[in-house]
C-alpha cells in the first residue's frame, strides 16, 4: 500500500472513531409514524434525545429509545468505555426508510376484497461527537 493511500485510510479510521451507529430493520410500524418521532430527536444532544423519547406517548418512541441506547453502547465499545456526557455526543443523522410490506386481504361488500398493506420500516441512527476545537472566528 502506498503512502498516500495509507495516510488516507488512517484519516478515515480516525474520523470513524468519532461516529457510531445502530440499525433497526423491519420495525413493524409505518415509516410515516416513525418519522414523526425521528424528527423530534434529529440534531439533539444524546441526553436530551433520550429524555424526549422517554416521555413521548407514541409507540415508535419506545423502539427508537432502545435503538439510541444501542448506538450509545456501540460508541462506548468503540472508544473503550469513554464518558458519554463528556464526549458531547449528538444525533448526527437519523434515517427512516420503508421496509417490507405484508399484503393482506380484507373482505368488502358484494364479494370484493380490499388490500391491506401492513408497512414496516428500517431506522438508522448515527451518533457524532461534537468538536470542541472550533474557533470563534
Give 79's DSSP letter. T
Three-state DSSP class for residue 88: coil
Q: Where are the domains of the chain?
A: 19-129
CA distance 77 to 106: 47
Q: Are 96 and 34 in contact (CB under 8 A)?
A: yes
C-alpha pair distances (Å), 30 with each of 14, 35, 36, 76, 118: 36, 9, 10, 31, 8
At residue 124, does pLDDT exceed 50? yes
Q: What is the CATH number of domain 19-129?
A: 3.90.470.10
Least confident piece of the model among 12-16, 63-67, 103-107, 108-112 = 12-16
Provide the CB-side half-sphere exposure for 109 (13 A, CA). 0
Instruction: Give the predicted TM-score (pTM) of the model.
Output: 0.83
For residue 45, give the nearest of 92, 78, 12 by alpha carbon: 92
Q: How confident is the model at residue 132 (pLDDT cuts 50, 70, 90)?
A: low
CA distance 62 to 53: 7
The stretch 115-128 carries a mean pLDDT of: 95
pLDDT for the residue 83 = 79
For residue 48, give the nearest of 101, 20, 89 by alpha carbon: 89
Amino acid at each position: 500500500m502506498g503512502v498516500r493511500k495509507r495516510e488516507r485510510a488512517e484519516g478515515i479510521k480516525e474520523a470513524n472513531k468519532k461516529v457510531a451507529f445502530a440499525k433497526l430493520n423491519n420495525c413493524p410500524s409505518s415509516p410515516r409514524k416513525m418519522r414523526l418521532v425521528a424528527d423530534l430527536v434529529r440534531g439533539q444532544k444524546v441526553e436530551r434525545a433520550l429524555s424526549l423519547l422517554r416521555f413521548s406517548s407514541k409507540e415508535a418512541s419506545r423502539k427508537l429509545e432502545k435503538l439510541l441506547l444501542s448506538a450509545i453502547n456501540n460508541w462506548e465499545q468503540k472508544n473503550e468505555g469513554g464518558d458519554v456526557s463528556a464526549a458531547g455526543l449528538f444525533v448526527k443523522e437519523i434515517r427512516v426508510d420503508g421496509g417490507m410490506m405484508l399484503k393482506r386481504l380484507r373482505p368488502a361488500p358484494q364479494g370484493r376484497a380490499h388490500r391491506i398493506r401492513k408497512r414496516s420500516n428500517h431506522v438508522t441512527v448515527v451518533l457524532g461527537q461534537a468538536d470542541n476545537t472550533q474557533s470563534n472566528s
